[in-house]
Amino acid sequence: MLSIAKVTKNYAAEGGRRPKSPVDVSAPALRGIDLEVGRGQFHTLLGPSGCGKTTLLRSIAGLERPDTGTITLSGTTMFSSDQGIDVSPDRRGLGMVFQSYAIWPHMDVFKNVAFPLTVRRPGRTGAKLTRAEQRDRVEEALAAVGLADYAGRQATNLSGGQQQRLAVARALVTRPALVLLDEPLSNLDARLRESMRFELKRLQRETGVTMVYVTHDQSEALALSDVVTVMSQGGIEQSASPEEVYDQPGSLFVAEFVGAPNLLTGVVEHLADGAARIASEAGTIAVDRCTWQLGDEVRVLMRPEDFIITAAEESADPEERNTFTGVITATAFEGERVRHQVKVGKLTMECHAERHRALSDGSDVRLTIPAERVRLVPGSAASGGAE
């Protein structure tokens, strides 16, 4: 329903109005973005600060004018540098929620939500709504976010989470096909942020509205999304389901950004029937699936939760491959599990253990990982580069 093609934006080319970063102000904010967002999708733009997430979102909204490219919404061209089309924000039919979700303190909850209806221009969406129709719409939007009983409350007398829901209701009230959200949960404390995640996802499912959601928090992106698009330096690194981004990072940048403590360097030294042996800095590692060639440099990704950790004195299965011996150097208790750091030769590996199976610091241990859990990631960060 949303198609973005070859969108570029370089603030420096316009004389750099208010450069936020003293570093490379001449680097383009968007380097030729191609992106498809399907109807009813929860689509997240994930990436580090300054990678261009807000610029892309504002370009979709019409608040930022790209240098080149095309943006199409439900078959209607909203922006085209070639055709000289640039539809104004209020005519794009979008809902928006920003990080500073500015509620109007002098209005009650009902008036806050009704506001976009009262200023809505007639045009694409037909004649202005009657008062009764407006009331129905506001009540519907408030009910969707669970604020039906708060309509008469002064907006400033809501909790942080309720104000957040009010902002979402205001974005939904015009029944837009697409809602854009820019880090809407970042002002909330950790616990509220987690519960709002579930609420947002439920709301998106129930209303069927398409959402494009911006965050730099990888766990938020994985928890909420149908599709995660990972951005770096104005470009797209990978666009895939949360499971795929986590299990099969498309680049070293994605692997590091999504959080991979154990990423060893290695070279493909043996290939047979799609499986391979990798000569890594921690010794030979067997993998079930390898699309690389003999001699290629790769990174070996082993997730901390995929290791089986046992005390070294327990007898080992002689058949077992991918076994590393080491010493526990640090342990962090995290509630339902513990995190161990294990010194393996010169390397430090991280692994998780169930809390009741935790071992103490200084223990000699064996780490084992099945070959099907080992992932290979491109060996260099040539495409993007970490911050």
Ligand X SMILES: Nc1ncnc2c1ncn2[C@@H]1O[C@H](COP(=O)(O)OP(=O)(O)OP(=O)(O)O)[C@@H](O)[C@H]1O
Which residues have CB under 8 Å from 77's CB, separation 6+? Answer: 70, 71, 83, 85, 87
Residue (167 or 203) nearer to ligand X, CB: 167
Q: Which stretch binds Mg ion (CB under 5 A): 50-58, 87-95, 259-267, 296-304?
A: 50-58
Number of other CB atoms surrounding residue 56 within 10 Å: 29
For residue 329, give Cα distances in angstroms to 127, 301, 307, 365.
69, 21, 16, 11
Residue (20 or 289) nearer to ligand X, CB: 20
Residue 55 interacts, among ligand X, Mg ion, none and using kind-specific CB cut-offs from 5 to 8 Å, with: ligand X
Residue 88 interacts, among ligand X, Mg ion, none and using kind-specific CB cut-offs from 5 to 8 Å, with: none
Distance CA 182, CA 185 (A): 9
Distance CA 123, CA 91 (A): 8
Q: Which stretch binds Mg ion (CB under 5 A): 53-61, 193-201, 219-227, 367-375?
A: 53-61
Cβ proximity of 287 and 278 under 8 Å = yes
Number of other CB atoms surrounding residue 18 within 10 Å: 5
Residue 274 interacts, among Mg ion, ligand X, none and using kind-specific CB cut-offs from 5 to 8 Å, with: none
Q: How far is the CB of 213 from ligand X (least distance, A)?
A: 13
Helix axis angle for 190-207 and 160-172, nearest 10°, is 20
Residue (54 or 70) nearer to Mg ion, CB: 54
Residue (11 or 42) nearer to ligand X, CB: 11
Q: How far is the CB of 298 from ligand X (least distance, A)?
A: 29
Distance CA 7, CA 264 (A): 35
Please give the torsion angle defined by the CA atoms of residues 159, 161, 165 and 168, in that order, rounded to the nearest 10 degrees.
120
Q: Which two tokens stand for residue 102?
A: 């500015």
Which residues have CB under 8 Å from 217's CB, separation 6+? Answer: 46
Distance CA 196, CA 206 (A): 15
Residue 384 interacts, among ligand X, Mg ion, none and using kind-specific CB cut-offs from 5 to 8 Å, with: none
Q: How far is the CB of 238 from ligand X (least distance, A)?
A: 16
Residues found near ligand X in the complex (CB under 6 A): 11, 16-21, 29, 47, 49-55, 216
Residue (17 or 191) nearer to ligand X, CB: 17
Residue (233 or 322) nearer to Mg ion, CB: 233
Residue 160 interacts, among Mg ion, ligand X, none and using kind-specific CB cut-offs from 5 to 8 Å, with: none
Q: How far is the CB of 11 from ligand X (least distance, A)?
A: 3
How many binding residues for Mg ion (CB under 5 A)? Answer: 1
Position 134 contacts Mg ion (CB under 5 A):
no
Instruction: For the segment 268-327, give every residue that binds Mg ion (CB under 5 A).
Output: none
Q: How far is the CB of 30 from Mg ion (least distance, A)?
A: 13
Which residue do the tokens 């939760």 mark?
305
Position 55 contacts Mg ion (CB under 5 A):
no
Q: How far is the CB of 81 from Mg ion (least distance, A)?
A: 23
What is the three-state SS of 65-120?
Answer: CCCEEEEEECCEEEEECCCCEECCHHHCCEEEECCCCCCCCCCEHHHHHHHHHHHC
Q: Which stretch binds Mg ion (CB under 5 A): 51-59, 136-144, 202-210, 289-297?
A: 51-59
Q: How far is the CB of 19 from ligand X (least distance, A)?
A: 5
Cross-strand bridge partners of residue 326 = 365
Q: How far is the CB of 87 from ligand X (least distance, A)?
A: 21
Cross-strand bridge partners of residue 272 = 275
Position 54 contacts Mg ion (CB under 5 A):
yes
Residues that bind Mg ion (CB under 5 A): 54
